[in-house]
Structure 1
Amino acid sequence: MTSIPGAGRDRLPSLTGLRFWAALLVVLYHLSRQVGAVPGLSETVWYGRSGVTFFFVLSGVVLAWTYDGARVPAGVFLWRRFARIWPLLAFSVGLSVAVWAVMDRAVSLKAVAATLLLVHAWFPQPVMFTGGNPAAWSLSDEAWFYLTFPALLALLAGRRARVWAWTAVAVTCAALVLWPALSGLTPTTRNWALDYLPLTRLLQFVLGVVAGLALKHGWRPPVSLPVAAGLVIGWHLVLIPWHEAVPDALWYSPYNASQWLSAPLFAALICAAARADLDGRRTGLGGPWMLRLGHWSFAWYLIHEIVIRAAVFHWGKPAPGSATLMFWAGVLVVSLAAAGAAYHWVEHPAERWLRGLPGRSPANHARPPAETDRTTTSR
């Protein structure tokens, strides 16, 4: 592979647009399960929790792309990631706890503390890894990815292409082995180990890291963006008859498969979109509104379930049919508007303030070029 000249300066706006669609997949998943189904659509997004797998792979791709060759000290990198995710995490936890209080639901203070410390996904008790803000469990996994990333980059950067290829094969095969290997655990422990545990989810992040390194050095994915998108959509359609045949309680259900078998497909989609940007081709994912919605996606992910919970508590679940569709529309509009406000008034200004603290951004450790463009930053 030959290195792309000036690759760090290139923008990858399509990845920001994809972030919005992945967040939407998660939102529709929660609406289907917590509010009520919309015939035709809910069947397709019934396993939309796979959008979290997309974000785990995307994190690896973007961080590898951004920091390969940048020589940023690990401490500076970790502070930047803390500034990126923690302020909005704290805000969303406070909002979530306030809604729980209005609902007169007890809140575990230990769970809230573990969430704010970003260690809650390490506990197998559901009250811990869903306490505070249930959607925030994935940030505990992301925190683990960030801690391991400097070592992963030191181990994988500068290697030959075949090392990256074999690493991608190894982590994909490990996921295929791990899924049935944990089948003997109790359902609660198995679901925690497969769905939440940072150690197992690290496989998806590593797949993203090697894909990002390969992209940075000129690799072209074997499929085009339309084909990659078609594969992802087709995969979710395959899950519909699987769901009708196998209950989610079984270890070989489509619920687990949707998260464990989708990582290579998401990696192909991300790489195809990035490659299209690098080649100067229009994708429909990088327009002004797509970028704006992509920027809001992190806040939307953290806030939407809180809005759903509050709406169901206040109005109750709607009747099937048009009432459900209207309820969905209201939640989508309100939660997305709230996400936009949170991005502009909390997330973005808090990150800039934390990064600007004295001693946190030394002049001799300037940002890598790609990180100055917010469209390339993962969640």
Structure 2
Amino acid sequence: MISRPGAGRDRLPSLTGLRFWAALLVVLYHLSRQAGKVPGVSDAVWYGRSGVTFFFVLSGVVLAWTYDGANVPARVFFWRRFARIWPLLAVGVAASVAAYMYMDRAVSAKGVVANLLLVHAWFPQRVINAGGNPAAWSLSDEAFFYLAFPVLLALLAGRRARVWVWTAVGVTCAALVLWPALSGLPPATRSWALDYLPLTRFLQFVLGVVAGLALKRGWRPPVSLPVAAGLVVAWHLALLPWSKAVPDALWYSPYSASQLLSAPVFAALICAAARADLDGRRTGLGGTWMIRLGHWSFAWYLLHEIVLRLAVFRWDKPAPGGDTLVFWAGVLVTSLALAAVAYHCVEHPAERRLRRLVGRPSAAARPSSDVTAAR
């Protein structure tokens, strides 16, 4: 029997808190590469785009935990996911297009339409997969995961634990094989196939699903939360000497590796945090402000690069040193404040209203473990 956390919206609160740190990793990655480096910090987050991998694994864990045994019709599930991501996606695209127009930069109508239809990551052309709001490419991958999830759950939920173990091993090995297997492609095509293509990223989601099913059925990871967090930090620090020896443009650089190969350590971190919540232990990730920041993280992810783009356009890149710190602080505070407004004025109320329109389940059918950690 699984011990249940207390009632409330965030039943695995540490996972919601972890969302903020993953989003921060991505934000600092963009600041380091697009605005200028801060010594020490920029080195540690130079491959912080791996935070997207964290979100893909987290989505699988949370959806499996929430919907395993819930008997929710597929159409209701799909509508809930639409209500969860699309309203803020539309706002982010509109804000991004407005920013491009202010900067007098061309906007691809095809890219905007593909973005709004959540199919843009399927196209290798940069003008399409980065059209509209470039940060929203990952939502195209998530949309594919959502479409596949009911079938994936049906295939895996009734299996024995050893099937989940072999599935986790299989998708991890598949990522290891894909990395060198696609090395012969032209650099731009290889980058798209490894870093954007939903089929490639689906491996990370599947790993999250089997981890979520195992947690739901009573499995507890042997690794503690501090150890799992240490593994994540150690993995990113290990990339630093590698990055100094191999340029990112080469296939065996740590750029794609940081995203493809980080899924197991992120899965360990997520499972360790969930275990702490299920055991009733405090983690420092489930406090009031951490939950609040976790709720804002989706909007922060979608909006921060727009603020960064406008700041660089208006003031240019800052001079190294104190100016860079001031620039970073301004972008961080402004984008996070806008994310808070977007969450409270758009994301949360729109999701609540849209969810009421389709298939409100009875109390008996409603998922008993619905958590809000997934985007």
- TM-score in terms of structure 2 length: 0.97
1:367 equivalent in structure 2: 366
The CA distance in 2 between the partners of 1:130 and 1:8, in whole Å, is: 41
**Match in the other structure for 2:56:** 56
Compute the displacement of 1:360 (Å).
3.9
Tell me the CA shift for residue 4 of structure 1: 1.3
Q: Distance in 1 between matches of 2:368 and 2:291?
A: 18
The 5-angstrom pairing of residues 1-379 of structure 1 reads 3-4=1-2, 11-357=11-357, 359-361=358-360, 363=362, 366-371=365-370, 373=371, 376-379=372-375
| CA gap 1:8/1:157 in 2 versus in 1, 3 angstroms | farther
Please give the alpha-carbon distance, in whole angstroms, between the structure 1 residues aligned to 2:5 and 2:68. 10
Q: Distance in 2 between matches of 1:150 and 1:100?
A: 38
Question: Per-residue displacement from partner, 1:67-115 (whole Å, max 9, x unpaired)?
Answer: 0000001110000000000000000000000000000000000000000
Task: Give the whole-Å Cα distance in 1 for the aligned partners of 2:373 and 2:319.
Answer: 40
Distance 1:185 1:289 in 2: 45
- How far apart, in 2, do the equivalents of 1:282 and 1:7 lie? 12
What secondary structure, in the 3-state scheme, does the structure 2 residue paired with 1:369 have? coil
Is the contact between residue 8 and residue 369 of structure 1 (CA under 8 Å) also seen in structure 2?
no
Unaligned runs of 5+ in 2: none
Contact 2:175 2:260 in 1 (8 A): yes
Report the more deviating stretch, 52-61 or 309-318: 309-318
CA deviation string 1:143-171 (max 9, x = no partner): 00000000000000021111101100000
CA distance in 2, matches of 1:188, 1:13: 39
2: CA distance between counterparts of 1:21 and 1:70? Answer: 30
- The CA deviation string for residues 241-279 of structure 1, in whole angstroms up to 9 with x for no partner, is 000000001101010110011000000000000000000
Q: Distance in 1 between matches of 2:72 and 2:5?
A: 17
Contact 2:19–2:373 (Cα < 8 Å) also in 1: no
1:332 and 1:105 map into 2 onto residues whose CA distance is 24
Contact 1:8 1:370 in 2 (8 A): no
CA distance in 2 between partners of 1:69 and 1:128 (Å): 38
Q: CA deviation at 1:52?
A: 0.1
SS of residue matched to 1:164 = helix
TM-score w.r.t. the length of structure 1 is 0.96
Unaligned runs of 5+ in 1: none
Task: Give the letter aligned to residue 220 of structure 2.
Answer: R
Deviation at 1:363, TM superposition (A): 4.4
* Percentage of identical aligned residues: 79
Residues 8/263 of structure 1: CA separation in 2 closer, same or farther (3 Å cut): farther
- CA RMSD in angstroms comes to 1.4
Matched residue SS, 2:48: coil
Q: One-letter code of the match for 2:367?
A: P
Q: Deviations over 1:224-252 (max 9, x none)?
A: 00000000000100111000000001101
Q: Report how far residue 353 of structure 1 moved.
A: 1.1
Give the C-alpha shift of residue 218 in structure 1. 1.0
Change (3 A) 1:276 1:5: closer
Cα distance, 1:361 vs structure 2: 2.5
Mapped contact 2:70–2:365 kept (Cα < 8 A): no
Closer, same or farther in 2 for the Cα pair 1:32/1:222, shift >3 Å? same
CA distance in 2, matches of 1:28, 1:83: 28
Q: Find the residue that maps to 2:63 and give its secondary structure.
A: helix
Cα distance between partner residues in 2 of 1:5 and 1:18 = 21
Q: Tell me the distance in 1 between the aligned counterparts of 2:5 and 2:61.
A: 14
Kindly tell me the number of residue pairs found equivalent between the two proteins: 373
Contact persistence 2:56–2:142 (CA under 8 A): yes
CA contact (8 A) 2:4 2:278 kept: no
8 A contact 1:130–1:137 mirrored in 2: yes
